[in-house]
Amino acid sequence: MTIDATFWVAISFFIFIFLVFYFKIPEKIKISLEENIGSIKKQIDDAETLKEEAKTILSDYEKKISGSKSEIKKMIEKANEEAEKNVLKTNSEFHILMDNRKKNAEEKIKQMKEQAFKDIKNTSVKIAIESVERLIKNSIDKSKLDKFYKSSIEETKLALKKKST
């Protein structure tokens, strides 16, 4: 019997197989694979959990966003209403102020007219008195008196015109 290389390869193979089973390498590989599978399953479960939590958070935020949009819409509507009220109020106050100013201006004009009439009346009376005084002082004949009377009237007219302008 000759021992050739094939024999030694077969012996080496059986020794290798024996050592593999002796050190329980297939079980260790199986345990390692099961641990990896378990770890991967746990990661997948964690990912699913995180995905569900993310969906929940997303829906919560979408609800908050829609709630915020409605609140913003209400705030804008309220601001517009207040702006309209303020415009109406300001407009009404402006009209009241203008009416008051108009009344005050009309009252001042009325007072100025009355004062002008009083001034004209006082001036007319003063001129008339002066004319009468001159007439009495000068008691002259009728022709001179008519002349003097006409000149007094002209003076009165001129004085009144000066006063009225």
Mean pLDDT by 10 residues, the chain (165 residues): 82 92 89 94 95 94 89 92 92 92 93 88 81 68 71 80 71
How many domains, the chain? 1
Residue 16 lies in a domain: no
pLDDT of residue 135: 66
Residue 127 lies in a domain: yes
**CA–CA gap between residue 39 and residue 28 (Å, rounded):** 16
Residue 7 lies in a domain: no
Residue 108 lies in a domain: yes
pLDDT of residue 108: 93
Do residues 155 and 127 touch, judged by C-beta distance below 8 A? yes
Residue 41 lies in a domain: yes
**CA–CA gap between residue 145 and residue 127 (Å, rounded):** 16
Which residues, 6+ apart, have CB-to-CB distance to 127 below 8 Å? 152, 155, 156, 159
pLDDT of residue 140: 58
pLDDT of residue 69: 87
Residue 11 lies in a domain: no
Could you give the residue ranges of the DSSP H alpha helices within the chain? 5-22, 25-138, 142-164
Residue 30 lies in a domain: yes
Do residues 124 and 156 touch, judged by C-beta distance below 8 A? yes
Residue bearing tokens 């966003």: 65
pLDDT of residue 119: 85
pLDDT digits (tens, 9 = 90+) for 51-83: 999 999 999 999 988 888 889 999 999 999 999
Which residues, 6+ apart, have CB-to-CB distance to 138 below 8 Å? 144, 148
**CA–CA gap between residue 164 and residue 158 (Å, rounded):** 10
Residue 62 lies in a domain: yes
Domain range for 119 is: 23-164
